[in-house]
Amino acid sequence: MAVPFSRSLRSLATDGRVARTTALALSSAFLAAWLAWFFRARVAVYEITDAARIEAEQLAYRSEAPVGGKVVATRLALGREVVAGEILVELDAEADTLDLAEKRTLIGAITSEIAPLEAQIAAQRRVLDANRDVTRSTVGEARVRHRDAEAAAVYAEAEADRTARLHAGGLASDADVARARSTAQSRRADEQALRISVDRVGSEHRAKESELAAEIARLGRELQNLEGQRARERSAVGGLDYRIEQHRVRAPVTGRLGEVTALQVGSVLRAGDKVAAVVPVTALRVVADFPAASAVGRVRAGQPGRVRLHGFPWTQWGVLGVTVARVATEARDGRVRVELALAPDPASAIPVQHGLQGTAEVEVERVSPATLVLRAAGSLVRRASDVEGAPEAPSGATPVAGALP
C-alpha cells in the first residue's frame, strides 16, 4: 500500500517545505524591517510638566485705593472690559468738593474785579500818553512865543541904543530916546513873562503826569494783589483737585477685570487696599515650570511643543501648538521657568484666555527606539545599584530619610 500513496506523500513533503520557506522568508523580512525601524527610525522625546498656565505677556495690574474712605459708587464687575483711566470706585470726598466749589467761586469774583481794574489802568495809561503829547505841544508853542518875544526885545534894545547914539549926535530928540527905551523895556518884560509861562506850563504838565503815574502805580499794586490772591486760590484748587482725584480708583490700563473685591456703597476702604486686578489686552503666552534636573540644558529656545488644557479634554478639543521662546538660566525651588509662544490656530475651538492651566510638552530631541531602550536599561541598572548599595537598617528600626548610617 506504500506504492499507491508515494506521490501523495511526496506532495505533502514538498508543500511542507514551501510553507516553511515562505514563513521563514516573511519572518526574516519582518525582522529586518523591525530592526531597521529599531535602529534607524527617529522618535520624538518630550519633557513634560503639569505646571503650565496661559498668561498675558503683560502681567495683571493691581488697582489699589490711594487713600482711605467710604465707598459712594462702584463699577466693579468680574470680567468687564475697562479702558485706561476709567473710574472703578469712588470714595467720599464731599468736604473737598464743597471747598473746591467755594474756591472756584472766589476765583470767579476775583477775576470779575481784575477785568475792570485792568481796563482802568489801560485808560489811565492812555490819558498819561495823551497828557504827554499835550505837554510837548503846549510847551513847544510857549517856547516859540518866547523866542519871538526875545527876538523882539533884542530888536527894541538895539533900536534904543541906536536912538541914544543919534541923540548924542543931535539927530534925535529926547522924546525919541524915551520912546525907544520904553519900547525896549516893554519887549523885555513880554519876553520874561513868556519865559515864566514856559516854565509854568512845563511844571503843571509834569505835576499832572506825576499824578497819573501815581494813580497807575496804585492801580497796578491793587491789580498785583488781586492776581496774587487769584494765583493762591488757583493753587489751592489744584490741591483740592488732586485730593479729590485721590478718592477715585481708576483702571491703570485697558483690559478686563480679572479679579475684583466685593464692595458695596457704604463700605470702607483703607489706603492700599486692593480693589481689582486688570488683565491688559495683550498677546498671550504659556508659562511652564519644568523640573530643573531634566530641563536645564535640554529645553532650548526654538523647540516645538504642545499644551493640553485641564478643562478641555484633548480628545475633544485638541491641543495648542507652542514654541519655546525663553528659558530661565536660574532654577527656583528645583524648577526652571520656561516661556512658550502660542501658535495661533483660527480653527481651534478652545477659548484661549488668561488663567487657563494645563500640561506642557516640549520636544527636546529625536532618537532611535534602540537608544530609548538602552536608556531605560541603564536607568533600571542604576536604580538596582542604588537599592543594593543602600545601607541596611538595624533590626526593629525604620529607615528615616536623611538619617546617618
- Per the CB < 8 A criterion, the answer to whether 320 and 309 are in contact is yes
Q: Mean pLDDT throughout 339-366?
A: 85
Is 83 in the same domain as 106?
no
C-alpha cell at 224: 498785583
Is 266 in the same domain as 295?
no
Is 220 in the same domain as 352?
no
Domain count, the chain: 3
Whether the per-residue pLDDT at 393 is higher than 50: the answer is no
Task: Report d(CA 274, CA 188) in Å as an integer.
Answer: 100
Look up the CATH number of the domain holding residue 291: 2.40.30.170
Is 238 in the same domain as 266?
no
Domain-embedded: residue 368: yes
Q: Which of 185, 218, 244 is the last residue of a domain?
A: 244
Question: Predicted confidence band at 397 (pLDDT cuts at 50, 70, 90)?
Answer: very low
Domain-embedded: residue 372: yes
Is 314 in the same domain as 221?
no
Domain-embedded: residue 34: no
Is 191 in the same domain as 305?
no
Domain-embedded: residue 390: no
Whether the per-residue pLDDT at 288 is higher than 90: the answer is yes
Beta-bridge mates of residue 305: 322, 362
Amino acid at position 177, single letter? V
Domain-embedded: residue 128: yes
Task: Report d(CA 160, CA 176) in Å as an integer.
Answer: 9
What range does the domain containing 298 cover? 39-57+283-380
Whether the per-residue pLDDT at 101 is higher than 90: the answer is yes
Is 354 in the same domain as 375?
yes
Look up the CATH number of the domain holding residue 83: 2.40.50.100
Cα separation values, 79 from 259, 268, 278, 356, 401, Å:
8, 23, 9, 14, 48
What is the percentage of the chain residues whose pLDDT exceeds 70?
90
Look up the CATH number of the domain holding residue 238: 1.10.287
Q: Over the stretch 73-91, which tens digit does the pLDDT of each residue have?
A: 999 988 889 999 999 999 9
Domain-embedded: residue 24: no
Is 305 in the same domain as 178?
no
Q: What is the mean pLDDT of the chain?
A: 81
Is 86 in the same domain as 112?
no
Is 48 in the same domain as 129?
no
Task: Report d(CA 293, CA 336) in Å as an integer.
Answer: 9
Is 238 in the same domain as 372?
no
Task: Report d(CA 157, CA 166) in Å as an integer.
Answer: 14
Domain-embedded: residue 326: yes
Is 132 in the same domain as 196?
yes
Domain-embedded: residue 9: no
Look at strands 284-291 and 268-269 and give their pairing: unpaired
Q: Which of 195, 228, 244 is the last residue of a domain?
A: 244
- For 220, list phi and psi in degrees, rounded to 5: -65, -40
